[in-house]
Structure 1
Amino acid sequence: MATIIPCGPCLYDKTHQNARKWCTSCEEGLCKECEKTHKKTKTSRDHKLISIEDYCKIEDVSIHFTCSDHDKQLEWFCKSHDKPLCVVCLPTEHRSCSDVISIDVAATNARQSTAISDLQEAIEVALRNITHCINNRNTAKNDIEKQEKDIRRIIRDTRTKINDHLDKFEEKLIQTLVSASETCKSKCNTFLRQFHSEEEKLIKLKYQVLQMKEFASDLQVFLGTRQIDKLVMSEIESIKTATDSIYDYKFNLDLNSDIEKVSNGGVKEFGEIQVTEHTTKLDFKELKLEQAQMQLNVQPLSNVADIELKLITKVDIKKEQMYITGCAILPNEHLLFANYFSTELLEYSKDGNFIGSIQVSATPFAITVLDSDRIAITYGDKGFFEIFNYRTSWVEKKIETGGHCWGLSQSNGKIYVKLDQVGVFDIKGKKLCTVPAAGNFYISASKHNLFCSSYSNGNVYCYDMKGQEVWNFHDDSLRHPYSVANDRNGNVFVVGCVSRNLIIIQHDGKTYKNLLNFENCSNPSAVYYHMDKNTLLICDEKGDDCTLYKVLYT
Structure 2
Amino acid sequence: MASVISCGPCLYDETHQNASKWCTSCEEGLCKDCEKTHRKTKTTRDHKLISIDNYRKIKDVPISLDCSVHDKKLEWFCKSHDKTLCVVCLPTEHRSCSDVIPIDVAAAKSRQSTAMSDLQEAIEVTLRNITLCISNRNTARKDIEKQEKDIRTIVKVTRTKINNYLDKLEEKLIQTLASESETCNSKCNNFLQQFNTQEVKMIKLKDQVYQMKEFASDLQVFLGTRQIDKLVMSETESIKTAAKSMYDYKFNLVLNSDIQKLSNALVKEFGDIQVTEHTTDLDLKELKIEQAQMHQNVQPPSYHGNVAGVKLKLITKFDIKQEGFMFITGCAVLPNGHLLFANYTNKQNLFEYSEDGNYIGSIHVSAHSYDITVLDFERIAITYGNKRFFEIFNYRKNLVEKKIETGGDCYGLSQSNGKIYVRQDQVGVFDIMGKKLCNRAISGTLFISASKNNLFSPNCSNNNVCCFDMNGHEKWNFHDDFLRRPYGLANDRSGNVFVVGCVSKNLIVVQHDGKTYKNLLNFDKHSSPRGVCYNEDRNILLYYDEEGDHCALYSVLYT
1:400 maps onto 2:404 in alignment? yes
- Partners of 2:392 and 2:434 within 8 A in 1: no
Which residue pairs with 1:547 in the alignment?
Answer: 511
1:216 maps to a residue whose letter is: F
* Unmatched tracts of structure 1, length 5 or more: 291-308, 317-342, 348-355, 454-481, 486-493, 502-517, 522-527, 550-554
Which residue pairs with 2:191 in the alignment?
Answer: 191
Distance, in Å, in 2 between the alignment partners of 1:529 and 1:204 is: 114
1:334-360 deviation per Cα after TM superposition (whole angstroms, max 9, x unaligned):
xxxxxxxxx96799xxxxxxxx99889
Which residue pairs with 2:286 in the alignment?
Answer: 286
1:219 maps onto 2:213 in alignment? no
- Partners of 2:369 and 2:383 within 8 A in 1: no
Which residue pairs with 1:312 in the alignment?
Answer: 306
Deviation at 1:45, TM superposition (A): 2.6
Which residue pairs with 2:504 in the alignment?
Answer: none
2:165 maps to a residue whose letter is: H
Distance, in Å, in 1 between the alignment partners of 2:141 and 2:384 is: 36
**Secondary structure of the structure 1 residue equivalent to 2:306:** strand
1:27 maps onto 2:43 in alignment? no
Distance, in Å, in 2 between the alignment partners of 1:256 and 1:280 is: 47
1:188 maps to a residue whose letter is: C
- Partners of 2:381 and 2:391 within 8 A in 1: yes
2:273 maps to a residue whose letter is: I
**Secondary structure of the structure 1 residue equivalent to 2:42:** coil
- Partners of 1:377 and 1:387 within 8 A in 2: yes
1:547 maps to a residue whose letter is: Q
Alpha-carbon distance change, 57 to 519 in structure 1, aligned in 2, over 3 angstroms: closer
1:299-339 deviation per Cα after TM superposition (whole angstroms, max 9, x unaligned):
xxxxxxxxxx96523899xxxxxxxxxxxxxxxxxxxxxxx
1:119 maps onto 2:119 in alignment? yes
Which residue pairs with 1:160 in the alignment?
Answer: 160
Deviation at 1:187, TM superposition (A): 1.0
Distance, in Å, in 2 between the alignment partners of 1:274 and 1:222 is: 96
1:23-49 deviation per Cα after TM superposition (whole angstroms, max 9, x unaligned):
222222233333333333332232222
* Unmatched tracts of structure 2, length 5 or more: 291-302, 311-327, 333-339, 345-367, 423-427, 443-449, 456-466, 481-489, 502-506, 514-559
- Partners of 2:382 and 2:392 within 8 A in 1: yes
1:400 maps to a residue whose letter is: I
Sequence identity (%) = 58
Deviation at 1:249, TM superposition (A): 0.3
1:313 maps to a residue whose letter is: V
Alpha-carbon distance change, 177 to 149 in structure 1, aligned in 2, over 3 angstroms: same
Distance, in Å, in 2 between the alignment partners of 1:241 and 1:276 is: 74
- Partners of 2:5 and 2:19 within 8 A in 1: yes
- Partners of 2:19 and 2:52 within 8 A in 1: yes
The count of aligned residue pairs is 422
Distance, in Å, in 2 between the alignment partners of 1:452 and 1:547 is: 13
Distance, in Å, in 2 between the alignment partners of 1:111 and 1:150 is: 55
**Secondary structure of the structure 2 residue equivalent to 1:177:** helix
- Partners of 1:24 and 1:47 within 8 A in 2: yes
Which residue pairs with 1:137 in the alignment?
Answer: 137
Deviation at 1:200, TM superposition (A): 2.4
Deviation at 1:20, TM superposition (A): 2.6
Which residue pairs with 1:243 in the alignment?
Answer: 243
2:512 maps to a residue whose letter is: L
Which residue pairs with 1:269 in the alignment?
Answer: 269
Distance, in Å, in 2 between the alignment partners of 1:247 and 1:544 is: 87
Distance, in Å, in 2 between the alignment partners of 1:102 and 1:445 is: 42
Which residue pairs with 2:181 in the alignment?
Answer: 181
Moved more, 226-235 or 52-61: 226-235
Which residue pairs with 2:536 in the alignment?
Answer: none
Distance, in Å, in 2 between the alignment partners of 1:496 and 1:235 is: 122
Distance, in Å, in 1 between the alignment partners of 2:284 and 2:115 is: 22
1:209-246 deviation per Cα after TM superposition (whole angstroms, max 9, x unaligned):
55456x43683795388345554444444333322221
1:157 maps to a residue whose letter is: V
Which residue pairs with 1:54 in the alignment?
Answer: 54
Deviation at 1:387, TM superposition (A): 5.2
Deviation at 1:247, TM superposition (A): 1.2
Distance, in Å, in 2 between the alignment partners of 1:89 and 1:276 is: 55
- Partners of 1:346 and 1:358 within 8 A in 2: yes
- With the length of structure 2 as denominator, give the TM-score of the two structures: 0.59
Alpha-carbon distance change, 154 to 185 in structure 1, aligned in 2, over 3 angstroms: same
**Secondary structure of the structure 1 residue equivalent to 2:307:** strand
Deviation at 1:78, TM superposition (A): 1.4
Distance, in Å, in 2 between the alignment partners of 1:26 and 1:281 is: 49
Alpha-carbon distance change, 47 to 220 in structure 1, aligned in 2, over 3 angstroms: farther
Distance, in Å, in 2 between the alignment partners of 1:445 and 1:38 is: 55
Matches within 5 A, 1:366-445: 399-400=403-404, 415=419, 425=431, 429=433
Alpha-carbon distance change, 16 to 170 in structure 1, aligned in 2, over 3 angstroms: same
- Partners of 1:315 and 1:545 within 8 A in 2: no
Distance, in Å, in 1 between the alignment partners of 2:243 and 2:51 is: 122
Alpha-carbon distance change, 43 to 439 in structure 1, aligned in 2, over 3 angstroms: farther
Alpha-carbon distance change, 359 to 34 in structure 1, aligned in 2, over 3 angstroms: farther
2:92 maps to a residue whose letter is: T
RMSD: 5.5
**Secondary structure of the structure 2 residue equivalent to 1:92:** helix
